[in-house]
């Protein structure tokens, strides 16, 4: 099951390298990727609008007919629907006291350290929105995955696999097949992909720390990320939900290794076969720290043939080891909570 990596399916770092010849945005993408594995997989597409992306999806296939010689057939066509996906805008300002930054004689390094924290905070928020964002509840955010896969009786229910957990101490595993025609991120038409950064130089900051009539000279940086999510074909995302966290840690009840219906490994197998065509996408599993640890224990003890550790090279040339299931990489995504309520 090969993972596609082509010029058609561009990750955030690849877009940054292409759209910013000075290398600034590429540097930002690299900093983020060191701490967020999901960036290695996300495919980015430039939206066809500045505030939204309009996509046309097939809702029905055309009717086909068998015929005999000298016999006509009626015309038929596929049915389609247009969907508008919103783009959210997230901003952050970084203000570093000039006197503090200049102490060691290398203000640029001090500002970079502050920038790393700002960037990490922004990307954690973006990843959390990718998983849980609901634009109906928070219109300034984009619609994430969970609200789209949250009803076991919905039209896309075949791609929502329950592990039979209950209550509010559950988590999920996601299998996403990234691609231009499947599931992808978007950024506004005519803009740069991912994070934008501007060095606003030295400025006078007023009312420092909320104290009225105070001033401070500060080095100021501005960051902005405009992004959204498009699920063009719902068959290329699978949610394995209702995973009881306590059971997953202890391999008990529904998560016992002998449970062939609800154990996460068996549901991961089912998830692979819910993806319509693995050759059309860049597939990856996403799990949080708890589930990653449980899978690691399984890989070492029980299931080394299909669940294994592999050596590889990241897109930045850095050697690393990663875990895979049926040759599909398993990425850690700490935005996935252990406090999800049961999907019904």
CB atoms within 10 A of CB 153: 7
Length of the chain: 344
- Whether this model's pTM surpasses 0.85: no
Location of structure tokens 């000279």: 217
φ, ψ at 67 (rounded to 5°): -140, 165
Q: Give the pLDDT score at 7.
A: 38
> Burial code of 75-99, b = ≥16 C-beta within 10 A, e = fewer?
eeeeeeeeeebbbbebebebbbebe
Q: Give the pLDDT score at 30.
A: 53
- HEC sequence for the chain: CCCCCCCCCCCHHHHHHHHCCCCHHHHHHHHHHCCCHHHHCCCEEECCCCCEEEEEEEEECCCCCCCCCCCCCCCCCCEEEEEEEECEEEEEEEEEEHHHHCCCCCHHHHHHHHHHHHHHHHHHHHHHHHHHCCCCCCCCCCCCCHHHCCCCCCCCHHHEEECCCCCCCEEEEEEEEECCCCEEEEECCCCCCCEEEEEEEEEEEECHHHCCCCEEEEEEEEEEEEEEEEECCHHHEEEEEEEEHHHHHHCCHHHCCCCCCCCHHHHHHHHHCCCCCHHHCEEEEEECHHHHHHHHHHHHHCCCCCEEEEEEECCCCCEEEEEEECCEEEEECCCCCCCECCCC
Q: What is the largest CA-CA distance in the chain?
A: 91
* Cβ contact 300:309 at 8 Å: no
Q: Give the pLDDT score at 18.
A: 52
Q: Tens-of-pLDDT digits for all 344 residues of the chain?
A: 433 333 345 666 555 555 555 545 555 555 555 556 787 788 999 999 988 899 887 777 789 989 888 788 899 887 778 889 999 999 999 888 999 888 878 888 888 888 888 888 888 899 999 999 999 999 999 999 999 999 999 989 999 999 999 999 999 999 999 999 999 999 999 887 777 889 999 999 999 888 999 999 999 999 999 999 999 999 999 999 999 999 999 999 999 988 999 999 999 999 999 999 999 999 999 999 999 999 998 887 766 567 877 665 554 444 456 789 999 999 999 999 999 999 99
């Amino acid at each position: 099951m090969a993972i596609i990596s082509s010029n058609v399916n561009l990750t955030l770092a690849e877009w940054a390298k292409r759209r910013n010849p000075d290398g600034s945005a590429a540097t930002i993408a690299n900093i983020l990727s060191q701490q967020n594995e999901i960036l290695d997989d996300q495919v980015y597409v430039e939206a066809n609008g500045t505030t939204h992306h309009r996509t046309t999806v097939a809702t029905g296939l055309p009717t086909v007919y068998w015929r005999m010689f000298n016999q006509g057939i009626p015309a038929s066509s596929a049915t389609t629907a247009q969907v508008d996906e919103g783009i959210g805008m997230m901003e952050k300002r970084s203000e570093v006291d000039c006197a503090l930054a200049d102490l060691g004689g290398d203000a640029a390094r001090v500002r970079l350290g502050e920038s790393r924290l700002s960037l990490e905070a922004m990307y954690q928020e973006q990843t959390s929105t990718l998983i849980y964002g609901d634009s109906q509840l928070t219109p300034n955010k984009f619609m994430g995955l969970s609200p789209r896969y949250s009803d076991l009786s919905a039209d896309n229910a075949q791609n929502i696999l329950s592990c039979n957990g209950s209550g509010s101490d559950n988590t999920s595993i996601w299998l996403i097949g990234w691609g231009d025609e499947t599931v992808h991120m978007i950024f506004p038409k005519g803009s740069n992909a991912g994070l934008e950064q501007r060095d606003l130089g030295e400025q006078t900051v007023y009312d420092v720390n909320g104290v009225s009539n105070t001033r401070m000279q500060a080095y100021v940086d501005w960051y902005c990320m405009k992004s959204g999510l498009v699920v063009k074909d719902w068959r290329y995302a699978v949610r394995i939900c209702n995973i009881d966290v306590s059971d997953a840690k202890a391999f008990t009840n529904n998560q016992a290794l002998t449970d062939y219906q609800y154990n996460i490994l068996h549901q991961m197998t089912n998830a692979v076969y819910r993806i319509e065509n693995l050759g059309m996408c860049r597939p990856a599993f996403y799990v949080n720290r708890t589930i990653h640890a449980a899978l690691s224990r399984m890989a070492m003890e029980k299931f080394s043939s299909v669940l294994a550790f592999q050596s590889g090279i990241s897109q930045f040339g850095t050697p690393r080891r990663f875990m895979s299931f049926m040759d599909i990489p398993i990425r850690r995504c700490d935005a996935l909570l252990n406090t999800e309520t049961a999907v019904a």
